[in-house]
Every structure is written in C-alpha cells, then in structure tokens.
Structure 1
Amino acid sequence: MNTERDVMEEADDAAPVEMLAQLFEAHGWPCEQVSEEEISGEIQGSWTSYQLRCVWRAEDRVLQILCLPEIRVPDAKRRHAQELLTLINEQVWLGHFEMWSNGGVLLYRHGLMLGDEGMLSIAMASQAIESAVAECDRFYPAFQFVLWGDKRPREALEAALVDAAGEA
C-alpha cells in the first residue's frame, strides 16, 4: 500500500481523478472510478462516514468535490434545516452546504479551479479532501440537534460550535 509520501514522490501533479485515486489508495479509503471524470469513495469522519464524489469538468478546468453525510431531511424539518444551512454557510470560508430539493439530501460542495493545465497536486488533493471532511464533521452535530434534538437552528449551531471547541 502506498503512503501519501510515496504518492508525492511518484508524481508532483496529475490529472485530477487520477491523483484522487492515488490519494484514496494511499489512505486505504474504498473508492471507485466511475468514469474518467468522476471518482466516488467513502471516508470515515469523526461522527459518521461520508460519501465523497469528485467530478472533473475539463472544459472549465474545475474539480467539484461533494461530501455527503448520511443525512436526509424529512419534509417537516426542511424549513429549520434551510435556516441552519444559511447560518452555517456564514461560518464557512470555502465551499458551502446545501440541501438537494429532490430527496432532502444534505451535502458540502466545493469547486477547485485548476488553471490552464488542469493538474492537481497531492498537497492540493489532500487539503481539499481533508477540508471537506473537517467542515462536515464541524457542523454534523448542528444538523443532528435540529433534525433529531428539536433545537432551533441558531441554538443548534451555537451548541455544536461550543462542543467542537471543547473537544481535544
């Protein structure tokens, strides 16, 4: 099994899906290359496992990263979930959270513009994936508080951020 250091020594930059496949392999994360433009995998976070989908749009030279916690919002909770998403997105520097209208699936989405060559470095790939998982972990408790703890969105966000700040 390759380590991240081995991957770094093998190639400085590579096509995005190829580099992500190498990164997943180096970490032992299960993944599937869906096509030349898409890779899908699973990563264990602090609270749950996340489905990760990365889609390469060569014509735009943009790599879209989708990180999906196993959360579906029931119709009765959609208004509160949308309010929470608005509050959370005010706290996020890169990417954003959204809820798909079809099925109420929550996700984190971030797009990386890769420049004229459209190449991805191992450092950039690692940082993007780690950031996506970290953001999902950071706000996962807030979603739980709203969806299953019946807290109001602002109260849920405050409680989640206090809990996260208190963890070691």
Structure 2
Amino acid sequence: MMQGNRDYQRDEDAAPVDMLASLFEARGWPCEFVGEDEISGEIKGSWANYTVRGIWRREDHVLQLLCLPDIRVPDDKRTGVYELLALVNEQLWVGHFDIWSNGNVLLYRHGLLLGDEGLLSLAQAQVAVEAAIEECDRFYPAFQFILWGDKTPEEALAASLVDAAGEA
C-alpha cells in the first residue's frame, strides 16, 4: 500500500507518478510504487480487475499508461486476436490495444505527452485512467468471444458492441 507523504491539492499539478498515486489513494484503489518513475495499481472494472501501470519517461516527457485485463493469448488463438486488435483499434480515438510478446499478454496502452514541465493535473490523470478502464470494459467481451466462444473477429466485435449498446 502507499505511503501518505505525497499528497497534492486538487488544483495543483504534480509529477505524473505522484499524481497517479494521489488519484489511486483518493479512489481507494490499491497501488504501489514499482520504482521512482513507475506505479502499479489494481482497479475493478465491469468485467474484471485490471492492473493499471503508469511509467514516466523523463527524457521524452511521456507518461505511458498501461491497462492489463489479465488476458493471455494462446498461440492457437493469436491470429484471430491480431485480426480483432486491428478492428478494435479502428474504433479508438486515443490509445490502442496490443499483445506483449513477452508472455502473450493483452494490454491497452496510451502515451500522454506532458510538455517540458512534465506535470500532470488530477483531471488529466482521472480522464486518462477512466478512459483506459472504459476501453478495456468496452472490448473485453470481444476478446473473450475469440478466446472462449470461437467467434470470428468480425462476429466478436459486433457482439461486444451490441452488448455494450444494450448496457447503456
């Protein structure tokens, strides 16, 4: 769990990892610092618990936000999942889904350019994390339809978008 020495007011910007820590603490999401420039937490989504990681690259002024829905892609399903990734990524305005070659893990990834100051506001942190969770929730069923339902990528996407529309 977090140590409470990194508190920030709502109206002040902070170092990206520190602001993510403040957001996680405020929401009651468990998290830990993996290093000086990396934080990892767990957030309950509609379909699963997601690991959310924030990695700050000082030299590039980029905060990389990763959301991992704990889906491993077996070799025999990889082609279908890659086809689905292409279809899903066409639906996204920011971020994208990918498969990490190390462990065949599905993830959502988004890079935030933070400018020369390298500061993140609470509002930016909240919007970025919520968007990652929403996109994982939105497309989680599609990936499950490929992995467990033996649907084609097109069928999986159509079924997940119909389900999502029905939940509204």
Smaller-chain TM-score range?
over 0.9
User: What SS class does the counterpart of residue 120 from structure 1 fall into?
Assistant: coil
Cα offset, 1:9, TM superposition: 3.8
Corresponding residue number in structure 1 for 2:76: 76
Pairwise mapping of residues 15-94 of structure 1 onto structure 2 (< 5 A)? 15-94=15-94
- Cα RMSD of the aligned pairs, angstroms, is 1.1
CA distances 1:63-116 after superposition (whole Å, capped 9, x unpaired): 000000010011100000000001000001100000112221000000000011
Q: Contact (CA 8 Å) 2:62, 2:113: kept in 1 or not?
A: yes
Instruction: Count residues with an aligned counterpart.
Output: 162
Unaligned runs of 5+ in 1: 1-6
Q: State the AA in 2 paired with 1:15.
A: A
**What is the distance in 2 between the residues matched to 1:103 and 1:114?**
30
For normalisation by structure 2, the TM-score amounts to: 0.94
Unaligned runs of 5+ in 2: 1-6
**What is the distance in 1 between the residues matched to 2:59 and 2:70?**
31
CA distances 1:7-46 after superposition (whole Å, capped 9, x unpaired): 7745510000111101000000000011110000000000
CA distances 1:130-158 after superposition (whole Å, capped 9, x unpaired): 00000000000000100000000010000
Among the aligned pairs, what percent are the same residue? 69
Q: Does 1:124 align with 2:115?
A: no
**What is the distance in 2 between the residues matched to 1:102 and 1:80?**
19
Moved beyond 2 Å, runs of 4+:
7-11
Q: Does 1:167 align with 2:167?
A: yes
Q: State the AA in 2 paired with 1:152.
A: T
For normalisation by structure 1, the TM-score amounts to: 0.94
CA 1:11–1:156: 2 relative to 1, 3 Å: same
